[in-house]
Structure 1
Amino acid sequence: MPRNTQHHLTPREELYGRIRRFQERLRAAGVDLALIIQNADLFYFSGTCQDAHLMIPAQGEPLMMVRKSYERALKESALDRVTQLKNLAAVRSGIEKYFKGSSRVGLEMDVLPANLFFRYKELLKPMEVVDVSEEIRKTRMIKSPYEIDRLKDSARLSTEMFSQVPSFLRVGMSEVELAGRIEQYMRERGHQGALRVRAFNQEAHMGHLMSGWTAACPSFFNGPTGGAGLNPSFPQSAGYKKIGRNEPIVVDYATVVNGYISDHTRIFSFGQVSDKLTLAHNISLEIKRFFMREAKPGSDGKDLYYSAYQMVQKAGLSEQYMGFGSGVNFVGHGTGLELDELPVIARNHHIILQPGMAFALEPKFVFPNEGAVGIEDTLVVTETGLEQLTGHDDSIQIL
């Protein structure tokens, strides 16, 4: 029977702890006040994503001005100062009234559309407008115990779903039929149905479900796999292809519960897959074991990436690693309220692991006309190493 997932309102002490950490970064950057608008950031700092402007000064109490719905924002947010916003001009008057002396105002320039940026820039003159997106992302990069608990909630649902996949599968069913069964199972148990991606034009489905050659079908999505999709307007994930025997079935789903995303991939097959696909999958498992053994606070993500890549080279699988032809240069991506948070474990990213970081490790191999293999698990950096949140047997599941 479907179970209800407990609904969480973000506690007041959690919100103010996040705000204090962000304020430290604002002071270090010489920014007087940040204006938060984007939904994921707004939810992170206020506990609501109603239509609002959240003003966070470098020192002092934040103020949230809500256009719609003010009544819901009052119920959902534990912030002390929440007022109604009648029009955009009131944003400037709010800054002038409550935060006198503000001269450098920070905006989320990595996500703010250009037309809105110019509008805010004109509205705030003669105040200087600066970018605080990096300060926001680095604040959000370190998860609190409360956030890790929410990631564990998400990971538990994902693990439950994977235990059910064999009962959903049958030879000859279409990919989209299997996707529908998986998604119904998760929606009934608390998956909110939509996930957030920060990067421009990186629309994301609940998951990528692919079988055989469709897992090697290239896509715009910034990941190792894409999938054929149902049509060119959304060219990723499940399509109409029928699932056959002796081909890898890739079930790659991002589960979102109470806003927090766990990312998780397992491979299934009706009968054995080819020896080269089995070898590649085993290399994925070796990379995961390497990370679980060697990744600790103080480790450099770039060094970890290259150590894993050396294992790939030794196996002669460089061409297939993380996508064929147009592969990606990362093996792990941060996750939380968005699917593409920091840290990134990548070729060109020096990132020192710290306790509280959460990321999805996804070593995968793509073979044209044959499919993809590999695993993905959501991990958290602890004081002593990595803790795996997602579960289920990570070998190729032969049905």
Structure 2
Amino acid sequence: MSEPTNKLRYEFDQRIGKLQKSLQEQNLDGALFFQSEDIFYFTGTGVNSVLVVPSNQEPILLVRINVEKGRMDSLISDVRPSNGLTTLVDVVNQVFGEKKIALGISFDVINLSFYHQLQRQFSNTVFCDIQPMVWCLRLIKSDWEIAQIKAAAEISYKGIEGAIGILEEGISEIKFQKSIEQIKVSYGDEGNMIQRGSNNRLPFGVVAFGKNTSIISGNWMTMTSMGRSPSRPYGAGNDQLKKGDLVVIDHGTVYQGYHSDEARTFIYGKADKRHKYLHSVVNELLETAISEIRPGVSISEVYLQVEKLADRYGLKDQFMGLEQYGFRYIGHGIGLEIDEPPLISAFNKKVLEPGMVLAIEPKLIFKNEFGITQEDTIVVTESGCEVITSFPRDRFEV
């Protein structure tokens, strides 16, 4: 890590302290963590490990492979080698004894088979879901976390800038994507994005040309193109660029484990009046969302103001693919994972707070024709917000 170790150690100590306070408030004896991003958040390392956090004692990191690497990277002091579940059982018994205890785990990242294993091994233990608690802790980013996201955003800018320079007629989506990846890696991008659920690694993001910009096959209203086969129906395919094609680049960039998220839509060649108009509308939708982002504003209000604007333009059905799929959202939180709370939706009544980091991604999707999207990563500040992805939105013709 780039910051002085003592400064970072203090930050990670604070995180553990807040977690332990929350555990005590919920009458839990401790917590077990199995997911790499949760473990990194509390220890500073993402090595293959299990984190044991008693509510009133020092945490213990059990490293499955290469404990020396774990000790070198970790910002907690008690790092031990592990032989798997047997070691975990021994450590839990040492820490808590034979009494009946309640431990928190994250139900969303363990499968049923492993949960049954835990129940068999810890017969005196009641397991409770603490992922909502952990999300509350991770929701507000520190200055250090925001600095990593800003660094990722700088790499994102360089990736898009470099990408425009290699666009040429006949280049395939997949070749274009791989070229962007190489550019970004040369500036420090760490590669695969993280999506929650079984330590899911996602590819680069999305590159789409022409009609493929209207195709949706991912988890949310993301333009996904065709993919390269029916078994991988997401991401860049083999279609080649033609004059007049729209070009969508929607990519996450990772630095020190933290993501930025940025999308831009271009047209290869000269744009007609319709494309120019719709591109300007999407920019206005994004600017409207940004103007609403400040502490104390309801998240639903951010969404609703943008939806109202789309409706005034007569584009509500195309907004976020609403006519086709009915999902009323416009963005998401971002941090150690590409998709984090809060979901920026019509139904989320939570209010914005300083330190939240959001990815706002309005889009217009015209079925079987094309789609246009713009996306920025935004930090909620004490007085409003700061947009930290910075490639010019008005750049369209390339």
Task: Normalising by structure 2, report the TM-score.
Answer: 0.93
Matches within 5 A, 1:370-381: 370-381=369-380
Matches within 5 A, 1:1-399: 11-100=8-97, 103-199=101-197, 204-323=202-321, 325-326=324-325, 328-399=327-398
Deviation at 1:8, TM superposition (A): 9.2
Deviation at 1:329, TM superposition (A): 2.5
Give the counterpart letter for 2:158 in structure 1. Answer: E
Deviations for 1:237-291, whole angstroms, at most 9, x for unmatched residues?
2111111122210011101111111000111112334444433322222222223
Deviation at 1:366, TM superposition (A): 1.1
Give the counterpart letter for 2:45 in structure 1. Answer: T
Contact 1:213/1:371 (<8 A) preserved: yes
Q: Distance in 1 between matches of 2:198 and 2:74?
A: 28
Contact 2:35/2:199 (<8 A) preserved: no
Give the counterpart letter for 2:15 in structure 1. Answer: R
Contact 1:362/1:377 (<8 A) preserved: yes
Deviation at 1:396, TM superposition (A): 4.6
Contact 1:247/1:371 (<8 A) preserved: no
1:30–1:279 Cα change, 3 Å: farther
Gaps of 5+ in 2: none
1:219–1:276 Cα change, 3 Å: same
Contact 1:265/1:377 (<8 A) preserved: yes
Deviation at 1:189, TM superposition (A): 2.0
Deviations for 1:171-224, whole angstroms, at most 9, x for unmatched residues?
221111211211111122221221110147976321100011011123133233
Q: Distance in 2 between matches of 1:346 and 1:352?
A: 12
In the comparison of the two structures, how many residue pairs are matched?
395
Specify the SS of the correspondent of 2:306.
helix
Q: Tell me how large the CA RMSD over aligned residues is.
A: 2.1
Contact 1:357/1:380 (<8 A) preserved: yes
Gaps of 5+ in 1: none
1:91–1:50 Cα change, 3 Å: same
Give the counterpart letter for 1:304 in structure 2. Answer: V
Specify the SS of the correspondent of 1:262.
strand
Specify the SS of the correspondent of 2:332.
strand
Deviations for 1:139-158, whole angstroms, at most 9, x for unmatched residues?
11111111001001100100
Deviations for 1:39-85, whole angstroms, at most 9, x for unmatched residues?
11111111112221111122331111222121110111020111122
Q: Distance in 1 between matches of 2:100 and 2:20?
A: 14
Contact 2:37/2:337 (<8 A) preserved: yes
Task: Normalising by structure 1, report the TM-score.
Answer: 0.93
Contact 1:229/1:235 (<8 A) preserved: yes
Give the counterpart letter for 1:145 in structure 2. Answer: D
